[in-house]
Amino acid sequence: MHPLIRISFALFLLCFAALNSFAGPTSVRPVNTIPFNLKHIEKLDSFLRARVSVISVKKESELSAEEVSASSGRICSCQVLNLESSNYDHRYMVLLAEKKNDGSGAAFEIAKNRIQKEKKHLKQMFYDKVKVVAEMHGTGSCKAMFYQLRTANSNLQLYEILNADIN
């Protein structure tokens, strides 16, 4: 075979291989390998700063008897999670647990434990990494808390509202 034909054929194969090694719009491989950019970090920072002023976080032991009776009768515990596996990377997933406020000091702890059980299940069955981005507790319904959080950060996605009254 003539050397000019052999060299041109080899260059053609190298160019073809190089073009196919990059991900295109129809490829299943990720195009952006860096998971965070500056815009995401700024949104997360503003989200965390806004939460301090919107939701007042109190422990059950700090609530007076009037505040417990004046509340809507429900408490809500919330965690914002980043869920990551080999196939999926879900950011800012909101996991909420709602419990009837019976006046005991352990109501917030029971709701938080329900979230911990669900996170353990998620890590065991579906995701390799489960990372807590933010954590909040408050009185009232979880649906109202989610809408307050959603107004501060539109990237939040509701994973589930758990019922902490069920064992």
Per-residue confidence (pLDDT) for residue 19, from 0 to 100: 66
The residue among 111 and 55 whose pLDDT is bigger is 111
Nearest to 48 by CA among 155, 162, 141, 153: 153
The gap from C-alpha 158 to its chain's centroid, in whole angstroms, comes to 8
Lowest average pLDDT, out of 2-11, 22-31, 51-60, goes to 51-60
Per-residue confidence (pLDDT) for residue 44, from 0 to 100: 61
Helices and strands in the chain: count of H runs, count of E runs? 5, 4
Q: Cα–Cα distance between 87 and 166 in angstroms, integer? A: 32
Per-residue confidence (pLDDT) for residue 9, from 0 to 100: 83
Residue in this structure with the two tokens 């902490």, named with its chain if needed: 164
pLDDT tens, residue by residue, 62-80:
545 544 444 458 999 999 9
Structure tokens at 123: 């890590």
Q: Which helix (H) or strand (E) holds 13?
A: helix 3-20
Residue 37: band (very low, low, confident or very high) from pLDDT cuts 50, 70, 90: low
- 3-state helix/strand/coil string of 113-163: HHHHHHHHHHHHHCCCEEEEEEEEEEECCHHHHHHHHHHHCCCCEEEEEEE
The gap from C-alpha 133 to its chain's centroid, in whole angstroms, comes to 7
pLDDT tens, residue by residue, 92-121:
999 999 999 887 778 889 999 999 999 999
Cβ density class 102-137: b for 16+ within 10 Å, e for less = eeeeebbbbbbebbeebbeebeeeebeebeeebebb
Per-residue confidence (pLDDT) for residue 167, from 0 to 100: 67
Flag whether pLDDT at 52 surpasses 50: no
**pTM of structure:** 0.56
The residue among 130 and 29 whose pLDDT is bigger is 130
From the number of C-beta atoms within 10 Å of its C-beta (0-12, 13-18, 19+), residue 77 rates as buried
Flag whether pLDDT at 7 surpasses 60: yes
